Structure 1
Amino acid sequence: MSKKKIISIAQITQDDVEDLAFGCALLGTGGGGSVGGAILEVKSAIKKFGPVTVVQLENVPADGLVMPICGIGAPTISFEMLNNGGEAQLLRQEVERVFNKPVVAIMASEIGGSNGVEPVMWASRLGLPIVDADTMGRAFPEVQMGSFFVRGLPLTPIILVDFQGNSITITPTSGESAESESRAFTIAAGGVALMADYINPAATMIGNVIVGSISNAIEMGRAVRGTHEPMKRLTDLLGAHALITGKISEIERHTHGGFVRGSVTICGTGIDSGRQVSIDIQNENLVAKENGRILASVPDLISMLDTQTGTAIATEEMKYAMRVTAMAWPCDPLWRTERALQTVGPRAFGYDIDYVPIEKSQR
């Protein structure tokens, strides 16, 4: 699994939230939910309940139950259906009832978008530490698209709750059924729910997660804070490639089956004048194309950034005439394995193309 250097972050305070949100938005590749509202929620929770302790899995009791947590649904709907503040407590109660043991820590299922930020709020509210890891190192749109599934860990019960206080426990028979059954509840709940999946003891999780996710997200925010050249700083930090700089000339976006789907077209400006790049969306940015040529694709990360500030733009926030830079960079090595590509590669999303690493496609 990931061998990223872990920056020593002992806790998350109000001062860290905006840096965390910046990095999570970038890693969200357009999905995972907009971080704007999450920033306010997390700061409010920390002010009321206190800072959140950040721990490594090795420092959690081996048999202690860790609860991965994330929002599931269409990001466009989450703008209108705000959480009521009690969902995580209900989720914890249901997890402890089903597993018959206490939750000792939570973890973000995906570090991308608000799904990387809001777990800090839930941790603060619940008085629990948060693990410095996640299962994706980015955001992916479907439940089975995580490291536990790719590593072949046995499926565990999935528990979902909604803002009305409804809950459901699913015992999936496959990764596909984990996705379809969870998505069905989410649609019935109005399009948004809170979910805990792959709930396991800490010892089971060690070696099967993307480590240092929270620390790395915060470091991204710190790296660009105050800089006058955010795009250059991010390119150097991530080993990223700028696909095109220009203006959004067309957006096609709709909500279907619990996802935001569509595409966005960018017309180049400056040195990219005369070029036109389109990016396909399923919550996250999936494939970038130019005149039929694939510039970048999942599982590598593709993010749309504000050209002036370097701030990542969520798919639900893209607007006509925005000045943007589409940037792509390498995914965690886990996602380039054969089993992982079957789960999160272009063909997993219906494309009749093979995955080509961004380092090769941009030579």
Structure 2
Amino acid sequence: MSHTKRTLTLEDVADLARGCAFLGSGGGGDPHTAFMEIEAALGEGGAIELIELESLPDDAFVAPCGWIGAPTISAEKLPSGREALQGLRKLEEITNRRVDAVFPVEIGGSNGLAALLLALRSGLPVVDCDGMGRAFPESQMVIFNIRGQQASPAILTDDKGNCVVIETVDNVSEERLARAAAVTLGGSCHLIEYCASAREMKANALRGTISDALRIGRGIRAARENGRDPFHGLFEALRASPHFDQAGVLFDGKIVDLQRETRNGFSVGRAVIDAFGGGQRLEVEFKNENLIARLDGQVRALVPDIISILDRETAETIVTECLKYGQRVKVVGASAPRALRSAESLAVLGPDAFKLPGPYRSIAELNGWK
């Protein structure tokens, strides 16, 4: 079996950022700042190697990473650029193991790019996988927790050089302590967690999701460059994915009301979107990520399926912290990876976990898609 490896270009990173924004379901943070950091690092002569999980020996030590906190804070509290490498070195110190590769703990939003920046700083490759297939607001809402991996030791680092090492008895406690530490350290921190052998990752990680995000971003860009509808490019890319193959437009309209606040380390609120000319209304509730979409009170999409709000002309995703009154948008839904729709997964990251009305019904069933 051959194992492919590729070096990502700056255009690839731009496409990846666009795709990650969509897969974030509104969350994971705006990729713009992360993209600029990567652009600067590539300009200094760095390189990003993307490898397949199968190319790693089973005993390789792999570190997922990302950021924890409210996206509204991360948009204003800029990173120093040193957080990720400091956390990586602390992990190697306390485990007495060298990290062999990194990857995003979630493929959504800015967090989908976090591992690329760490790869540039450390010289390590990025593995084409993640732990969520989207973004979720809480760190235990990850396939590694669902399948029995331990989050600890977790390493938090901030822009000032502070470092917190967390060891907990369970993964929910890790989320709570990490969230509290992130709030104390200013509301946004880099986090390395769920580190494990490549053998465990081969059993549990969601493969190919970086390639999926690249394909989504490239499909939107190529359609625009060729004078085609960028939404057609988006849906072609989604249909080509084994994870997100059921997708469609849920609503088309203008944002007429927006409620958003930072609460307990999360950005929470709702967006109200009216159809052009009046009539129908879609309401989207979010907790960092968009969680539920109701059309005139009837549920049309529900977590863990992806609900993203896109500019209706460019098909660029608008993350929750960038939503504004008056934006003209299309709301797009896509199926979550099948691993997230099992009964075992839904108990951790389905509607009940957010106190939303259930039970979960797939986006295809709710909208009559075949």
TM range, normalised to the smaller chain? over 0.9
Give the structure-1-normalised TM-score.
0.95
Aligned-residue sequence identity (percent) comes to: 39
- Deviation, structure 1 residue 357: 0.2
- Give the match for residue 3 of structure 1: none
1 CA distance for matches of 2:50 and 2:321? 30
Indicate if the aligned counterparts of 1:9 and 1:215 stay in contact, CA closer than 8 A: no
The C-alpha deviation readout for 1:82-130, integer Å capped at 9, x for no partner, is: 1111112210111001111111111110010000013211211111101
- Deviation, structure 1 residue 253: 0.1
Indicate if the aligned counterparts of 1:88 and 1:122 stay in contact, CA closer than 8 A: yes
2 CA distance for matches of 1:261 and 1:300? 18
Amino acid at match of 1:252: Q
Q: Which range moved further: 336-345 or 52-61?
A: 52-61
Q: Secondary structure at the match of 1:348?
A: helix
- Give the match for residue 257 of structure 1: 264
Mapping of 1:1-363 within 5 angstroms? 10-227=6-223, 228-238=228-238, 239-269=246-276, 273-363=278-368
Q: Secondary structure at the match of 2:20?
A: helix
Q: Pick closer, same or farther for the CA change 1:210–1:350 going to 2, 3 Å.
A: same
Which portions of structure 1, spanning 4 or more consecutive aligned residues, are displaced by more than 4 angstroms? 6-9
- Deviation, structure 1 residue 156: 3.0
- Deviation, structure 1 residue 175: 2.5
Q: CA RMSD in A?
A: 1.5
- Deviation, structure 1 residue 179: 1.1
2 CA distance for matches of 1:304 and 1:72? 22
How many residues are matched? Answer: 356
Indicate if the aligned counterparts of 1:8 and 1:215 stay in contact, CA closer than 8 A: no
The C-alpha deviation readout for 1:160-208, integer Å capped at 9, x for no partner, is: 1111111111112222211101101100010000001101111121120
Amino acid at match of 1:137: G
Q: Secondary structure at the match of 2:100?
A: strand
Give the structure-2-normalised TM-score.
0.93
Q: Secondary structure at the match of 1:10?
A: strand
Q: Please list every run of 5 or more consecutive structure 1 residues that lacks an aligned counterpart in the other structure.
A: 1-5
- Deviation, structure 1 residue 7: 11
Indicate if the aligned counterparts of 1:302 and 1:328 stay in contact, CA closer than 8 A: yes
Indicate if the aligned counterparts of 2:248 and 2:333 stay in contact, CA closer than 8 A: yes
The C-alpha deviation readout for 1:311-331, integer Å capped at 9, x for no partner, is: 111000001010000111110
Indicate if the aligned counterparts of 2:351 and 2:358 stay in contact, CA closer than 8 A: yes
Indicate if the aligned counterparts of 2:258 and 2:272 stay in contact, CA closer than 8 A: yes
2 CA distance for matches of 1:8 and 1:285? 34
- Give the match for residue 242 of structure 2: none
- Deviation, structure 1 residue 290: 2.1
The C-alpha deviation readout for 1:230-250, integer Å capped at 9, x for no partner, is: 122323432312111000000
Indicate if the aligned counterparts of 1:11 and 1:51 stay in contact, CA closer than 8 A: yes
Q: Please list every run of 5 or more consecutive structure 2 residues that lacks an aligned counterpart in the other structure.
A: 239-245
Indicate if the aligned counterparts of 2:271 and 2:284 stay in contact, CA closer than 8 A: yes
